[in-house]
Structure 1
Amino acid sequence: MIKRNKQPEETGSWMDTYGDMVTLLLCFFVLLYSMSSMDQTKWKKLVQSFNPSALESIESNESEGEFRGDQTKEVVSDFDALYTALKEMVEERGMQDSVEITRGDGFTFISFRDKVFFDGDSSVLRQEGKDILEQFAVAMTQVDSSIKEVQVLGHTSQGDPNRPNNVRNDRMLAAQRSAEVVIFLQSRHAVSPEKLVSASYGQFRPIAPFDTEDGRAQNRRVEILITKNDTVEKSLEEYYNQIYQDYQNVPVN
């Protein structure tokens, strides 16, 4: 019997073609994902449809990333540590000349000088002010339970050393500025809303004379007074006498 010659074996198979197609599809979807935003849950389902084991790897990496991210945040353990955390934030941003932080018995006092938060005659928060308030809010949130009250004090400066500002404009501007800071802190859940207080002092609590440009710049400020639970309340003058030198000797028009 004559034997027929065997057909030469195929160099490939349908599995190779299928594997190439799946690989191309995966690359296509990855490209689409890189060019647009996708819901995280949907992305996980997509990955799982191609390779179920890959999902576990993604979730493991995400957990490790979240842990590393939490580790890089400033951890504020108690009220006394709040001062240190805020001071380090100011130093990291190089704002020591415009933000002064003082610690006392049961309180932390922050003075934001001149134009950290607002431009002249404006009550619109500047981006620089928002950025630092964002960091401060994160720190305060961690010790909310030990904070008694957060007072935001708005101050203006007398433009003409020889003539007081218009009373309505002066008071309204200071009030709007302090209110804007309080609103921002509340929107970031810095502390419980009932602990936030805004106050307007206008030009009538100067810490430097109005007759020099530097003095007027010092008076144009926003202050944040953070008090600790279970501490005796003090008057603003008592805080000022601890914080500002020669405060009582500054003339008020």
Structure 2
Amino acid sequence: MRKKRSGGGANWMDTYGDMVTLLLCFFVMLYSMSTLDQQKWIALVESFNPVAEAQHSGGVGEDTAAEGLTQQQVDDDIEKLYQSMREYIEEENLSTQISVTKGDGYVFVSFDNTVFFEGNRYTLRDEGKVVLDQIAQCIAEASASVDEIRVLGHTAQEDGVNPNDPTADRFLASNRAAVVTVYLQEKNIVDPARLVSVGYGEWRPVAENDTSEGRAQNRRVELLIAGLNVENGIGDDIAQYYTMRSGESETAGGTEGDAGTSGSLAQAQSGSGGEG
């Protein structure tokens, strides 16, 4: 008598059921993707592609910062920024420690080093934080028109004959500029991409180093606040960076006169700046 096979006959049903379940999961996933929030999709793409993030934020060849602004509005904001800083300095009797000047499309602020730091240190003093809080508030009111803020750190040559040790000198200037930059960034007044710190060391003096008064003038921190040039075909400072980095346009690295805001920045740094 032939024996009956046990089990096995329904094995194909198990496989079929697994396949149907997988298909169901697949179509549910497709449906969920079809209704994916646009911002979530953008965030997903940017997490895999940093360049896409720059493009989305206007970093690559897209002047989104100036969208909806006219040059007159930008110029008015820069003028208001200059006036508000002047009023603050006068009201607080800080004219011996802080000076502010205005040029074509920029505001230049120079701080005596004692406003922010002790000698040979780069820890921000509490009194300096109070000053920066007010300066940040002034900038915030014009933030939509700001192209770039450069924080410039300077030291003085202690020996009138021999230069400072270059490592200590450069690091001190750079660290001081970076500390002020970080403090401003934490105030969320502008896009962090528009904040730049630069350490010049002793190499851009505004006075002689053979007197204590001259050295005191050379030890300083400065802010160079440039307004947008909405008519500049290259774009704002962020767009210019990505254009120059990719080499897409020879004009991006042009002369000071034809680079819009970059020309204003170079002009501001070519002279004595905020010491006037």
How high is the TM-score relative to the length of structure 2? 0.58
Give identity over the alignment, percent. 41
**CA distances 1:201-224 after superposition (whole Å, capped 9, x unpaired):** 000111111111111011000010
1:222 paired residue number = 221
**CA distances 1:102-144 after superposition (whole Å, capped 9, x unpaired):** 0111000000013111110000011121101001111211211
2:155–2:220: 8 Å Cα contact kept in structure 1? Answer: yes
Q: Name structure 2 gaps, 5 residues minimum.
A: 1-75, 230-259
Shift of 1:237: 5.9
How high is the TM-score relative to the length of structure 1? 0.64
2:145 paired residue number = 146
Q: What's the secondary structure of 1:82's corresponding residue?
A: helix
Separation in 1, partners of 2:150, 2:273 = 17
Tell me which of the two structures has the higher relative contact order, counting C-alpha pairs closer than 8 angstroms and 6 or more residues apart. 2
Q: What's the secondary structure of 2:200's corresponding residue?
A: strand
Q: What's the secondary structure of 1:152's corresponding residue?
A: strand
What are the residue-to-residue correspondences of 1:97-246 with 2, within 5 Å?
97-230=96-229, 231-234=260-263, 238-241=267-270, 243-244=272-273
Change (3 A) 1:163 1:237: farther
Provide the alpha-carbon RMSD of the alignment: 2.1
Q: What's the secondary structure of 2:86's corresponding residue?
A: helix
Q: What's the secondary structure of 1:119's corresponding residue?
A: coil
Change (3 A) 1:80 1:241: same
Change (3 A) 1:236 1:147: closer
Q: What's the secondary structure of 1:209's corresponding residue?
A: coil
Separation in 2, partners of 1:134, 1:105 = 26
Q: Name structure 1 gaps, 5 residues minimum.
A: 1-76, 248-253
Q: What's the secondary structure of 2:114's corresponding residue?
A: coil
**One-letter amino acid matched to 1:239:** A
State the aligned residue count: 171
2:148–2:225: 8 Å Cα contact kept in structure 1? Answer: yes
1:116–1:128: 8 Å Cα contact kept in structure 2? Answer: yes
Separation in 2, partners of 1:90, 1:245 = 13
Runs (4+) of structure 1 moved beyond 3 Å?
240-247
